[in-house]
Chains A and B, each alone.
Chain A
Amino acid sequence: MPHILRNGPEWYAASGTETSKGTKTFSLVGKVRRTGLIEVPMGITLREVVFDIGGGTLKPFKAVQTGGPSGGCLSEEFLDTPIDYEHLAEAGSIMGSGGLIVIDADTCIVDTAKYFLGFTQKESCGKCVPCRVGTRHMVKLLEKICDGRGELADLDKLEKLGRTIKNSSLCGLGATAPNPALTSLKYFRSEFIAHVKDRRCPAVVCKNLVNYRVIPGKCTGCQRCVSVCPTGAITGPRSEPHNLDRTKCIKCRSCYEICRFDAIAGDAIVIES
């Protein structure tokens, strides 16, 4: 503000695009090397923000979620989209309060949609029917899909329900709550289909669809995982490949993470779907 007052509105309008003038603050978080609050001129591309300013992702890039729980998940093809109100809306998302969440291959897009929709559902005031009842059904459908009980028809139900809620809700919460789900369905349909048809979670996140396994050939028996397993599912003496009891495994990822970062072997545990 002081700068605008000192330098005048034309100076501020000099940056930015034709229709979205000036700069915008964003909160860049997620799976990028450098996270934080940034202020950039409107019109800057997503690619510049994620890879230049953010330093790119460790794992393969999957999507950018803009606008928080009311926004949409934009896939790789949108990386060259200029960030301004119009382009984001065209893509099916919103600017919102400036949240930019970077998602990589390790994040399940269905799970992300379910998470955001769960949030908006809880925050719903309950006055209008589409938001109060409709978002609850959407959450239930997504839970069904993540649980491995989904059917192909559920995807169409989600889309139809989402459109109904968008068109008939009383306020912005309801009108934008389906956005994460609808954009994910649009740009990442294959991931949904994998959940529904193959009962498989490509990002190996959805608990009911994954299994953990120790690769005997790679395990050195360092016992790092044994010490962190909360249920005692992994057992085995020192210097011998460990055993993973699936019936006790709660899929908390502790063993996987510690093997990756702190164990001698580094890749002895895999999560498969």
Chain B
Amino acid sequence: MARKEPRTLTMEIDHRTVTFPEGVTVHRAAELNGIDIPSLCSHKDLSPFGGCRLCMVEIEGMRGYPLSCSTVAEEGMKVLTDTATLRDLRREILKLILSEHPSSCLVCEEREACKDYQGTIRKAGVTTGCRFCPNDRQCELQDLVEKIGVTEIDFPIDYHGYDPEHDDPFYDRDYNVCILCGRCVRMCQEVRGTSVLAFTYRGPKAKIGPAFGRSHAEAGCEFCGACVDVCPTGALADKASKWEGKPDGSLVSTCPFCALGCQIELFHKNGRLTGARAFLDPEVNDGQLCVKGRFCMPEVTHHFERARRPMLQKGRYFREVSWEEALERAARELKDISPDDFVMLVSPDLSNESLFAAQKFARQCIGTNNIDSTARMELAGALELWSRLFSLPISIKDIARADTILAVGLDSRFNFSVVGTKVRKALASGAKLVTIDSRDSNLARYTDDWLAPHPGKEGAVLRIFAEALAGRKVDIRAAAEVGIDAEQLERSLAVMASGHELVVIIGPRVFHYSDGYASGDALVTLAGTQKTNIIPLYFGANSRGALELGVFSEVGPGGAETGQEGSGWAEVLSHSKRPKVLYCIGDVAFRERPDCDFLIFQDIYLPPFSVDVFLPAASFAETGGTLINIEGRVQEVVQVESLPEGAVTGFMRPDWKILADITKSLGSQALDYSSAADVRKDIAAAIPGFPAEADRRPRKMKPLGRLPAATAGAGELEDGNFWLVAEPGGYRHRGIDIASKVGGLCELALEEGFRMHPRDIEMLGLLDGDNVRMTWEGGRMGATVGVKADPECPRGAICFTKRLILGGVKVSPELRPLLGLRQNPIRVRIVRAEG
């Protein structure tokens, strides 16, 4: 929809004639003309609040002192922003705020000396002044005090005396310093759409928090950190970077934790990464983030278990060695190796440069096609299917513009929460939402049209929708087969058909069912018949990069088909082939040491099993690189840390560089790279049309040609009383699940264990936490597991999160058979466990 450009009007501010676009507030009009009217509660992304009263101005013809933040600027207005009365009023109001806000430091005579010598240290648990506040020198209140000029607070000081709140993960809350500006409440309500925070109580006892005294986690907080970003004081502060102090600077980068590729602002101090904030990028994330990108970066980069030196298995000991020694040992094994005895596994979280270098290493240096990646499992169904999905015009930005949204199998509370926020934004503008999910999701409560089929049947319903929207006749009775009311289905179909701008968002779970291929196929057909924005979500930040750069035996750079077979994950997991050398770059989909003679492992953390050579890789903050997001945008991950190698920093090197060094040691010129730019040049040469720089334009992939054999549908109805549903999940990043490194994610631990609906647990005569005996394949396979009550779980199902990446995760041996199941969901028999 084309929007009319607003007219330009004129007014007078402080006797100066200025212009402004129609419709803005006086405050914004002044800001656009370089006049800064003080305010604390107003924010350009939020609706006006009018609580702090600092932005008062004098407007000719209006009595009293109207607020500039909530008065619309009009043609010919005459505004004064800085009269003596206004200055006086602002000073008084600021003094009132300070009388409640621990801030004696601002007016103490010793403050200059204290900054350097901290002569007035207090050991109180509550902040008693700016010097001990996490926001010191980054505080809007502090800045205003200096600007407006308050030198003494002549009201009696009376702090609230609240206990600081440390119970929820990721950020602390100290409401003693809260000035009740309401920005966090408005951000959560208006921009995020989750409304977790509200004003509780009233008057002088007013306090911010979730309603009814619930904890943030209980209230549905997504821990996106948007509230922390807008808080003008230190009331809300990141736990991880709270006491780092004011950062030295920041750089805009791309978040490396998932395929959305949100733009993020990384802060650094003394050369180290300290924290992250959302960057207001209108293309992808529009100023929003999820818990991973917002809070987990520092801990993932700096965890004490970070492996920083090359290591070698020397006899009985696994020791730290120099790069020369490690590289020499690796080269010794690889020299003269028969190409078929080598297998390479690469993580889909690696940068484009590293992925390209890896496949070139395997193909040109070693001469083999035995290269694979867990991207193959993340792009569930078939690689060829996903190449077709990636040939569609996928747009995250346009979700907010849609007028009808179909969300299938998606819970966006922690993973992909930016997508969820955009859905809510569209709903706020009047869009209609239909969800198809056997389990309750965080989006289901925003719609009347939540279709809940039997567990595992979301794909079947999606296919019905795809057929209907493509204009084909649909047999409504098919609804009953999957457990949906026919009338409800018809209604929802009508809702979807009534839209003009459609978006279909499919969560990863749907592709991981046995009928995932058929679902993906239906989506492509739908895209072919109707202009629809289709967003197929998957894990693995650069899985699309893995596909486009060709790190699979049958797919080469640019999606070119090699026409050759090769060994990869299937062989490794089934132990059907034992390679001489296995070179694994951060792809840890096994719990124990894989079957091979010699294991070269390259990653940022050590794996949970023994390796022969460990090569420490630089993480995303320590080296630059590019990633391809779900829309095909090539985006840059920026290097934030460039501390010199040494005992403290370590000796990590970028993945592509390590490969280049090994190649040189083997006497080959195949990987002649001295910088990431060199690799990019090589990529552009190898793949025609690939952007030479990270230009962030959305792109479409050329689909692979070959059609694979159709996979079987969900298993024949075996005997059983429950469906066992494996849901993809976990928070993968290279070889680890970051929940093992980030305390906050462990605390959330919402998807742990085996989950059943409380009524089903009751029906079995059990209590939450009891054990059940689960058998399948006619009783030949079985496991005893403890079950957790989960009211979001569908009836008749037992669900568990099947993590792909197991670094840092402990899996009990009894559960191993579950990790290798072929069908999903499968029928199991569940009885109470004995004993």
Contacts and interface: CB of A to CB of B under 8 A. Distances in A.
Interface string A1-38: 00000000000000000000000000000000000000
B203 A128 contact: no
B159 interface: no
A231 to B, nearest CB: 32
28 contacts: A121-B203, A122-B203, A124-B202, A125-B203, A126-B201, A126-B205, A127-B49, A127-B50, A127-B182, A127-B199, A128-B50, A129-B51, A129-B97, A130-B96, A132-B180, A132-B203, A132-B204, A132-B206, A133-B99, A134-B96, A136-B204, A164-B89, A164-B93, A164-B96, A167-B65, A168-B53, A168-B56, A169-B53
A167 B89 contact: yes
A126 B206 contact: yes
Interface in A76-132: 121-130, 132
Interface in B64-106: 64-65, 89, 92-93, 96-97, 99-100
A133 B96 contact: yes
B52 interface: yes
B324 interface: no
Sort chain B's interface into a size bin: 20 to 34
B203 A157 contact: no
Interface of A: 121-130, 132-134, 136-137, 140, 157, 160-161, 164, 167-170
Given A130-B96, A137-B99, A167-B65, A124 B203 contact: yes
B154 interface: yes
Contacts of A137: 96, 99, 155-156
B202 A125 contact: yes
Contact of A129 (B53, B65, B154): B53
Given A130-B53, A170-B53, A124 B204 contact: yes
A140 B64 CA distance: 27
B100 A133 contact: yes
Contacts of A132: 180, 203-204, 206
Interface of B: 49-53, 56, 64-65, 89, 92-93, 96-97, 99-100, 154-156, 158, 179-180, 182, 199, 201-206
B203 A129 contact: no
A88 to B, nearest CB: 18
B205 to A, nearest CB: 8
A139 to B, nearest CB: 10
Contacts of A121: 203-204
B97 to A, nearest CB: 6
Question: Nearest 6 pairs between A and B by C-beta?
Answer: A126-B206, A133-B96, A164-B92, A126-B203, A124-B203, A168-B53
B71 to A, nearest CB: 13
A121 B206 CA distance: 13
B157 to A, nearest CB: 11
A156 to B, nearest CB: 11
Nearest to B205: A126
A226 B182 CA distance: 57
A124 B203 CA distance: 5
A5 B802 CA distance: 78
Contacts of A169: 53
Contacts of B64: 167
Given A124-B202, A129-B93, A168-B53, 11 more contacts: A121-B204, A123-B203, A126-B204, A127-B180, A128-B52, A129-B52, A130-B96, A137-B96, A167-B65, A167-B89, A168-B89
A134 B155 CA distance: 9
B51 A127 contact: yes
A188 to B, nearest CB: 24
Given A164-B93, A168-B93, A126 B199 contact: yes
A122 B52 CA distance: 19
A132 B206 CA distance: 9
A157 B156 CA distance: 12
